[in-house]
Structure 1
């Protein structure tokens, strides 16, 4: 196993990401866009846009003039372009820590589920603030890996019970930044005013265990990449331990919840 946990952070296949996390991010995105309450006809920047979940919510709810999505993954940019192209939407391959935009170019700057995966989170937040015009909202959200993102939490609990070395890859261990205190400090450190952090909870329900397990076989993200790094017998043992840890409703569905921490400030 690599000594560098980030070696397991694989992000390049849009369909695999959608099945794993993208569909749940879309539910959070709707809540966050409504929370910002930005006016219509604005220029929005979506830094680390992934497959376009947050940009889709902006387009549907905020009547923007333009939404520019930036992501370092060429695969995600291609996926987003293929499914959401059209007037007012643009996608560019770029690093959220070095945004290729003018100072104050956007009326709202947002980011979803990216902050904890960059090498320098403070640098990224400073870039988000730089891209916003004076008075504009800057917002982001991340999963509560420690306790609130049940799907991933139960996976790592099962993995760690079988393989203590898996603890080094657990997002709850790797990303203590995904909590209200550190998020507030980051936004305030970037010079943002009126900083707030709130919890956003959404259902993450699966029709059966097959649907629940399949995303871990696509290799997109730390937990799926870890699962696919295992030999077949150990992966089967992990699958069985994960299944045993899940709640199952009388109709066979698996009802879980996910909590994200959303943070906003004003340039």
Structure 2
């Protein structure tokens, strides 16, 4: 395949594909984090604002600086934001445009496997969070089969078709996350595996949403109708006809800034 990287075109399509899944895992993460209200947050790689709005609803932040490299995603995030607590701007994880010790909390939600240099990104979060603050993240366990659309990935692989994965899917591994946080000098590092699930009334609904995922759709769009039909049959054999329960798994981590 000539396509090598995922292409997130707009926030609306991401919401259709990942919105409810993002809410499921994000709520479980915030239950575990038990963050206090009234804090100043940075949401690194905020995408279409799903994680930002979850923070607004769940932890009553004083302020959020939300950054993402995609202008299209940020447009969607600004349109959905109503409380005025968050500011959205273009930015990259390895060069945060803020001074040292500027935030109480840092979050990287479902994004660390997209970051070119995860070590640099974690170091940057540590830099901008003040002493005693928290640096946190959660990510799908992609290599361990925890991605919500793993059934379609498996069906593609069975047909010798390779789905496009994030550039660094290994960053979602629990041991890798723990190593990153420890290397950055964070104290009291703790991890958690988060299990979530959704029920789809029919396989057709799961297939329609799953095949809108960039790493899947970009590949399927290059195949013949016959090849796509074959992958669809294999995926349905994996999930069943419906209603179907799809399980997913994410890894979460938190650490305290000690500098």
Normalising by structure 2, what TM-score? 0.92
Confirm or deny that 1:183 pairs with 2:177.
Answer: yes
Deviates more, 1:78-87 or 1:111-120: 78-87
CA distance in 2: counterparts of 1:42 and 1:60, whole angstroms: 13
Question: How many Å apart are 1:227 and its aligned residue?
Answer: 2.2
Q: 1:170 to 1:59 in 2, by over 3 A?
A: closer
Which blocks of at least 5 consecutive residues in structure 2 are unaligned? none
Give TM-score scaled by structure 1 length. Answer: 0.89
Segments of 5+ residues of structure 1 without an aligned counterpart are: none
Deviations 1:116-172 (A, max 9, x none): 111111111111111211110110000011335253221111101112x517x456x
Give the 3-state SS of the residue equivalent to 1:119 in structure 2.
coil
For 1:109, what is the secondary structure of its paired residue?
Answer: strand
Partner of 2:16: 19
Number of matched pairs: 257
Distance across 2 between alignment mates of 1:234 and 1:247: 20
Whether the 8 Å contact between 1:247 and 1:255 is mirrored in structure 2 is: no
- Change in Cα spacing, 1:181 to 1:134, as seen in structure 2 (3 Å) is same
Match of 2:113 in 1: 116
Contact 1:116 1:175 in 2 (8 A): yes
Aligned-residue CA RMSD in angstroms?
A: 1.9
Which runs of structure 1 show a deviation greater than 4 angstroms over 4 or more consecutive aligned residues?
Answer: none
The correspondence for 2:57, drawn from 48, 57, 60, is 60
Partner in structure 1 of residue 149 of structure 2: 152
Change in 2 beyond 3 A, CA 1:170/1:68: closer
8 Å CA contact 1:146–1:153 kept in 2: the answer is no
